Amino acid sequence: MSIMYWTIWESDCEDPQVFLELTRECFSRWAVDDHAGESLEDGQHQVGHRRITLRSIADDAVSGVEGCTIDDMEGASSTRWCTTVRVAAGGGTAHIWVENCMETNDPTQRIKVGRPRVVADLLSLSENPRLKRDALCGTPRVITADDVSDFVSMLSYGDRRLPVIVFTEPFQTSGGRWRQLACQTARRSMGVATVAVLDQAAVSCFRAAFDDLAVWGGGIRTYAPRLVKSPADARRHRFIPAAEMRENDSWVVDRLVGTVAQLSTRRRVPGVFSVFLSDQRAISENELAEFRYQWEFDLELEKDDHATTQFELGRVSGHLERIVQKLRESNLEHLIWDAQVAPEDGLPDQVQGVTEAIVAAKEHLGEWLTIADSASRELHGIDTAPEAVSWGNNAYRGFRALAEYARSCKEDGFAGGFWVWCQRGGAMSVSWPATDKKLAMSESESVMNRDKYRKSRIFDVHHDVARSGRLLMQAHLKISEGGGDLAPRIYFHDDTAGATGKVHVGFVGPHYLVPNTKS
């Protein structure tokens, strides 16, 4: 099963037995969806399609209650949801752990992540709910200009455990829509994140205090746990520009909640919960061997990718040093410093995920690159994966390479095709490796001869390229070899010699949506 949501918090608790009984009643009402119902007894219960298990635990120091629900959803695809609640109380403190897991036989199924309703019910029982020093709340924290100093201190302290999602008021306000989205995000991410809202007056103070790590103008930033150090550390704290919010704000909320939910699954479990582990099923040796094989395989891919990156870095660094030397010899050294920082309205140097790479490419590369509106497919898992930033910047580099190739064809008269252009080495900042691990200009016969594989590679394209508005695309960028079926692919059509003179991207999404015989 995949863990979709995982929250742990502490609560003050004067009487453990009373608190545990209230917890049992709360879980029972939620599990049977009957707010007038009585507490379930220990044991197994069946309510409709839901199986419920409840048990009590006690040792010399700690008492506990554990409840579990399993929902089997039958339909076009079989999906199972499992929600587990564990509460351990003793010594004046109660520890609450809620875990939500899912498994399905349909890897393309779109999952909307969010806290189970029982989390809100349990938080209402808790007195001073917190994760270490971080208070848990299901509503946005309103930050005024007077609050900014304390807010920056809270973001910066090294023991912060919860991510903080900051919404800012747009320059051209869209009524209260941005606040509504903040409330939705706070409600769905309850227990795994803190949400804050800053109006324009607070944003001005925030920018002055936090400099390049701040956010403004309708943008949103998620400040990851641990110490916020310097602008060089900005990539850890994902930024969503206002333009992306305007394009699809409900999708942005899904991304935000998915990101903080994934961060929550990496949290360590306090030792007090060991009281529940006495009769848990041990992982079999076969399962361990399978996990180890997959980790070792991914590690080898990462090592190989790292070696390739180091080689490219050496080549680019050498090229840059030669350019700097030429500029110095021509008394044009000032141009080096003029070009060191990208202008605010220019092409950004890096992005925080694949979705942001698409937005940046549409905004800045449209003269040479067209990305179909329908190209973005199932990016939620990609944008919330641990590799999200790496994948996003690789995709962005790929978009820039395709655009630079199209420009080179039109303005420089290049006519050798994208593979040859990559072999030759385009502009150093956007070149793409011409290797089988990173680029394929066609699919194998085994893929093209099977109808289901062939159909999965027919994408929307501009009508000037194909009258029907649909075209079979075989050429694609391989954003990552590691990452399994989630690894992103970018499918494109080269029309540099055609009516549009551009490269057209028809698909950006996970590998499992464009399967092959090895998938």
pLDDT digits (tens, 9 = 90+) for 447-457: 888 888 899 99
Domain boundary at 131, 146, 176, which? 131
C-alpha distances out from residue 370 to 362, 444, 503, Å: 7, 26, 6
| Per-position DSSP letters for 394-437, written without gaps between them | HHHHHHHHHHHHHHHHHHS---S-HHHHHHH--STTT----STT
Domain boundary at 96, 131, 166, which? 131
Q: Within this chain, do residues 354 and 379 fall inside the same structural domain, yes or no?
A: yes
Q: Is position 388 within any domain? A: yes
Q: Is position 103 within any domain? A: yes
Residues in the chain: 519
Domain boundary at 66, 97, 131, which? 131
> Sign of the C-alpha dihedral, residues 151, 176, 181, 508?
negative
- pLDDT at site 515: 84
Q: Within this chain, do residues 369 and 436 fall inside the same structural domain, yes or no?
A: yes
Q: Within this chain, do residues 422 and 317 fall inside the same structural domain, yes or no?
A: no
Q: Is position 450 within any domain? A: yes
Q: Within this chain, do residues 214 and 329 fall inside the same structural domain, yes or no?
A: no
User: pLDDT tens, position by position, for the chain (519 residues)?
Assistant: 677 888 999 999 889 899 999 999 999 999 987 544 567 888 898 888 889 999 998 877 888 999 999 988 766 567 888 999 999 998 889 999 999 888 876 655 667 788 899 999 999 999 999 988 888 988 999 999 999 999 988 888 767 889 999 999 988 766 788 899 999 999 999 999 999 999 989 999 998 888 778 888 888 999 988 766 555 556 678 888 887 777 777 888 888 888 888 777 666 777 788 778 654 444 455 555 555 656 666 666 666 666 666 666 676 677 778 888 888 888 887 777 666 655 555 677 788 889 889 988 998 999 999 999 999 998 877 887 778 888 999 999 999 999 999 999 999 888 889 999 988 865 544 678 888 888 999 998 888 888 888 999 999 999 999 999 999 999 999 998 766 778 899 999 999 999 999 999 999 999 989 988 665
Q: Within this chain, do residues 349 and 327 fall inside the same structural domain, yes or no?
A: no
d(CA 257, CA 5): 10
Q: Within this chain, do residues 54 and 68 fall inside the same structural domain, yes or no?
A: yes
Q: Is position 277 within any domain? A: no
Q: Within this chain, do residues 27 and 57 fall inside the same structural domain, yes or no?
A: yes
Q: Give the CATH number for residue 7.
A: 3.30.530
Q: Within this chain, do residues 365 and 508 fall inside the same structural domain, yes or no?
A: yes
d(CA 55, CA 284): 25
Nearest to 507 by CA among 395, 415, 371, 397: 371
d(CA 329, CA 286): 64
Q: Within this chain, do residues 214 and 292 fall inside the same structural domain, yes or no?
A: no
For the question of whether the overall pTM of this predicted structure is more than 0.85, the answer is no
Q: Within this chain, do residues 322 and 409 fall inside the same structural domain, yes or no?
A: no
Q: In this predicted model, what pLDDT tens digit does every residue of 248-302 receive, in sequence order?
A: 778 888 888 888 887 776 667 777 887 786 544 444 555 555 556 566 666 666 6
Q: Is position 245 within any domain? A: yes
Number of C-alpha atoms within 13 angstroms, CB side, residue 79?
14
Q: Are 86 and 24 in contact (CB under 8 A)?
A: no
Helix (H) or strand (E) holding 30, with range, is: helix 16-32
Q: Is position 518 within any domain? A: no
Q: Within this chain, do residues 371 and 224 fall inside the same structural domain, yes or no?
A: no
- pLDDT at site 282: 43
Q: Within this chain, do residues 259 and 119 fall inside the same structural domain, yes or no?
A: no
Q: Are 132 and 158 in contact (CB under 8 A)?
A: no
The total of structural domains in the chain comes to 4
Write out the residue range of the structural domain in which residue 195 sits.
134-265
Q: Is position 256 within any domain? A: yes
Q: Is position 471 within any domain? A: yes
- pLDDT at site 279: 45
d(CA 96, CA 128): 13
